[in-house]
Amino acid sequence: MTDNTVKTRWYKDAVIYQIYPRSFCDSNGDGVGDIPGIISKLDYLKDLGVTCVWLSPCYKSPNADNGYDISDYRDIMDEFGTLEDWQRMIDGMHQRGIRLVMDLVVNHTSDEHEWFKQSRSSKDNPYRDYYIWRKGRGKDGKKPPNNWTSRFTGSAWEYDETTGEFYLHLFHKKQPDLNWDNPKVRQEVADICNYWFDKGVDGFRCDVITYISKDQRFPNGKFNPAVCGDEHFVIGPNYHRYIHELNQNSWSRYDTMIVGEAQGITVKNAFDAVDESKEELDCVFTFEHQTQVDSFLTTVPKKFNLVKWKEIFSNWQALPQTCWNSLYIENHDYPRSLPRYGKLEYRKQVAKMLAITINFLRGTPYIYQGQEIGMTNFEDLKPEQYKDVVSIQIYDIAKKFAPLKPIVRWALNKKARDHARAPMQWSAGPNAGFTTGTPWMDVNPNYTEINVEEELADKDSIWYFYQAINHFRHGNEIIGKGSYRCYLPKDKRVWCYERNYNGKRYVVVANYFDKPARFRMPKELAHRSSKVLFHNYEGEIPLADCKLRPYEAVAFEIE
């Protein structure tokens, strides 16, 4: 255990790489990525300039939701390896200067966790209150206690024959919600964190952490056919008290980073949630910018609005230094960023444009596996390829209403989480070099062109661009501490912003669209001598009155 006075806030200078272990690298040919596979790629991560890994869940799990349903928090999933493998992995990371942030999934457990098995066995079992049980409504008590819906479709309540009551599950029915109002549950969570910290873990990414406190009166939610009840459990009545308590009982005692997946936290309430003085989370994944294009787990794609996008990032950048930002555009819950923010015919330019505009902001950047080589969605994701429980459940509903089928299929082809979960594309060899066996889900057929080997052979690739930016960021005070100013906030095509630290200034200019965009340098920035730092096109860029090419982006330093 370390003394909390030594907390270094190391994450403010980190570049974090997210590994979705099932799809990263398979070492034993069973078609499923595993920990020895990760170990074999540690040098790859180091070369890329990564200084921290966020590992999606690798604990024991029956995999109803690919590890986000945990049946033993202190052990490793059989398919991924053993605790000894895990120890070798973290040692190997630390030897290379890479930290490890684990996923902490404690809003719910698996229904196969021993606590739940006990809890459901009888009403007077000591574990009964670890979960949320309520009587049903109606004469026979078979109607759910209220109208809340699971984020994965259907009611959030499941009837259990053994005791004739319902339990709450805000996700899949195999993911029962823990009862955080029970102090024993909160102590269990602190103990789990301390167990992993004592093994050397450097932090946690807290899954759906803003859902932990529910209004225990369980009132009906405002009517909404898709997601109902949010107002009664997103940042619920005791959320801040429970997080502060966990911070005191565990997190603050170690030199950590705690990042919360934080639906409901927007720039308006961010200060209360992440300011250092609050002693709660260190930072959050906000959904504000993502929902500009994709709403979490809903199926209707939206049109991208750059003005809104700039406003969201600009507002977050304006928060004090003590409210730290997380900079991400991809993870395992969204389709890939490339088709979302740009046309694929400009794959390289779009990927680099996103890399520039996101990485020159203040905050900790995240790279989701494959983002560094510009991996894309499946062109045509077929129902028989769905592996994600959400895609499967949504399509199952559509199957009952034939006219819905093609629409849902179309929407999932754009939005399914499966796209980002396809195996990592290491080479043009069989199964993209991910496995020698049969991959647990299909490899994207474009692996013959888009793969790590290709990227490493091309000095102008997306991979080298990320590598250069990652190295450029390390220790960079202008990026880490500089002020932020957005120019031309109402411009619908171009994002132009400045970072300034003690008079040293960087300027970023990016055309977010596939058509040329007229750009006139704001007069405050014009006529200064400048040095180009990053640019996603070959050749000169006239940094004055110019036409930016499709997705053209440049970061430069001005004097």
Contacts with ligand NOJ by CB under 6 A lie at: 65, 68, 105, 171, 207-208, 261, 332-333
Give me the least distance between CB of 332 and ligand NOJ, in Å please: 6
Kindly state the DSSP code that residue 518 receives in the 8-state scheme.
Answer: E
Kindly state the DSSP code that residue 79 receives in the 8-state scheme.
Answer: G
Give me the least distance between CB of 211 and ligand NOJ, in Å please: 9
Give 208 or 235: the residue with its C-beta nearer to ligand NOJ. Answer: 208
Residue 534, helix vs strand vs coil: strand
Rounded distance between C-alpha atoms, residue 269 and residue 234, angstroms:
13
Instruction: Give burial (CB, 10 Å; 0-12/13-18/19+) of 72.
Output: middle
Of 63, 298, 23, 330, residue with least CA distance to 172? 63
How many C-beta neighbours within 10 Å does residue 428 have? 15
Residue 141, helix vs strand vs coil: coil
Give 68 or 115: the residue with its C-beta nearer to ligand NOJ. Answer: 68
Give 375 or 510: the residue with its C-beta nearer to ligand NOJ. Answer: 375
Give 299 or 470: the residue with its C-beta nearer to ligand NOJ. Answer: 299
One-letter amino acid for residue 428 of the chain: A
Rounded distance between C-alpha atoms, residue 340 and residue 338, angstroms:
5
CA distances from 148 to 143, 144, 157, 326 (A): 12, 9, 8, 30
How many C-beta neighbours within 10 Å does residue 553 have? 27
**Which sequence positions are flagged as catalytic?**
207, 261
Give me the least distance between CB of 67 and ligand NOJ, in Å please: 9
Give me the least distance between CB of 493 and ligand NOJ, in Å please: 32
Strands 517-520 and 545-548: antiparallel
Instruction: Give burial (CB, 10 Å; 0-12/13-18/19+) of 348.
Output: middle
Give 331 or 431: the residue with its C-beta nearer to ligand NOJ. Answer: 331
Measured in degrees and rounded to the nearest 5, phi and psi for residue 520 equal: -115, 125
Give 261 or 455: the residue with its C-beta nearer to ligand NOJ. Answer: 261
Tokens standing for residue 238: 């005791």
Residues with Cβ within 8 Å of 129's Cβ and at least 6 positions away in sequence, in order, are: 119, 179, 182, 184
